Structure 1
Amino acid sequence: MALFIEFFMQQWVLFAALLAVVVMLVMHEARKSGPALTPQQAITLVNAEEGIFVDLRDAADFKSGHIVDALNIPAAKLPARMEELGKYRQRPVILVCKMGQTAASAGKQLKAAGYEKVYKMGGGMLEWSNLQLPTVK
Structure 2
Amino acid sequence: MTGFKNLICGTVFLLSLGAGTYVYAQIEEVGLQQTSEQAAVWIDVRTPAEYASGHRADAINIEYQNLGSAIMSIAPNKDVPINLYCRSGRRSEIARQTLLDMGYTNVINQGAYESVKKTLTKN
Q: TM-score, normalised by structure 2?
A: 0.62
Choose from 58, 67, 75 the match for 1:69: 58
Q: Give the letter for the 2:105 counterpart.
A: E
Larger radius of gyration: 1
Task: Give 1:63 shift.
Answer: 1.3
Q: TM-score, normalised by structure 1?
A: 0.56
1:119 equivalenced with 2:108 (yes/no): yes
| Aligned-residue RMSD, C-alpha | 2.1
Q: Secondary structure at the match of 1:53?
A: strand
The number of equivalent residue pairs is: 88
Q: Secondary structure at the match of 2:76?
A: helix
Larger helix fraction of residues: 1
Distance 2:73 2:86 in 1: 18
Task: Give 1:51 shift.
Answer: 0.7
1:71-86 aligned within 5 A: 71-86=60-75
Task: Give 1:47 shift.
Answer: 3.2
Structure 1 pair 50/132, CA: closer, same or farther in 2 (3 Å)? closer
Task: Give 1:88 shift.
Answer: 4.2
Structure 1 pair 116/63, CA: closer, same or farther in 2 (3 Å)? same
Structure 1 pair 59/115, CA: closer, same or farther in 2 (3 Å)? same
Query: Which structure is higher in RCO with an 8 Å CA cutoff and minimum separation 6?
Result: 1
Structure 1 pair 51/88, CA: closer, same or farther in 2 (3 Å)? farther
CA displacement 1:48-103 (0-9 Å, x = unmatched)? 34111110000011111111221111012122212223334211000111111111
Distance 1:102 1:126 in 2: 14
Larger strand fraction of residues: 2
> 5+ unaligned residues in a row in structure 1: which ranges?
1-45
Task: Give 1:126 shift.
Answer: 1.7
Distance 1:98 1:47 in 2: 25
Please name the residue that 1:104 is paired with: 93
Please name the residue that 2:34 is paired with: 47
Q: Give the letter for the 1:116 counterpart.
A: T
1:55 and 1:70 in contact (8 A); partners too = yes
Aligned residues with identical type, % of pairs? 25
